[in-house]
Structure 1
Amino acid sequence: MFCERIVLAYDGSDVAKRALEKTVAIAETNVSIKVDVLYTIELPQTPYVIEDVFEDMQQSMHEYGNAVLSEAKEKMATLPNYVDFYAVEGKASQSILEHADDQACDLIVIGSRGLTGIKEFLGSVSHYVVHHSHVPVLVVR
């Protein structure tokens, strides 16, 4: 399978760092492979959050997302491929699938579990992505 564009779902967890390493290894096989690193920000959907508190929380979550993406940028700095970084708001599973479709990605790389701490083989996000993706998904443990 020839891969032209990869989306890496990245949250900074240990498993995501291993997924980043696998993405780099794949991208190194062909300099024309483009890589999108995607961090999703899931804001609470409760109507009971006070506006000022919500804005502070939103800003804090964006700052954290930017820090996570900066870490990924450092680790991918020597990669000669075109790499772009995205921080998007939304449900992680849906955002990953939408990004893969919108950007015509032909591979999704995702860690088996993220920062939620769920102790199962596949986390809820990776499980959903595997079962609903239109493109191949590489799950890294």
Structure 2
Amino acid sequence: MDDPARAMQTLQRLSELGVRLSIDDFGTGYSSLAYLKRLPVDELKIDRSFVIGMERDLDDARIVRSTIGLAHTLGLTVVAEGVENEKLMAMLEHLGCDEAQGYGIARPMPVEDWLPWVERWQAPQTGTVRLDTDFQQL
């Protein structure tokens, strides 16, 4: 974003054309709350470093929960990056996360393998996953 004014105009035009825009890796690097306020985005992607840490670090879980709440308040969809297993999926479902991505769902694949994978994929049944007592209090 060497030229913020030009970048903003380009993003605004893309949004007006119906292109869904997302802030990637939210919570790290150059992403900030200022972007949520200024950019015409539809989606926020929570960085995998917070998502992966949720299983063992209650503070990471609190950050993820707060980020989901903030994004929903602003009318944004939330995607959690780095979902590696069913427990993380269950935790995110408990927190109201909209979408997830990660190796626990699928590994990268050639485009010709994608459609057959989508046709047979089913969301994991997370209702039987046991969540830690501390996490359930979130």
Q: TM-score, normalised by structure 2?
A: 0.31
* Max Rg structure: 2
| More helix by percentage | 2
| More strand by percentage | 1
Q: TM-score, normalised by structure 1?
A: 0.30
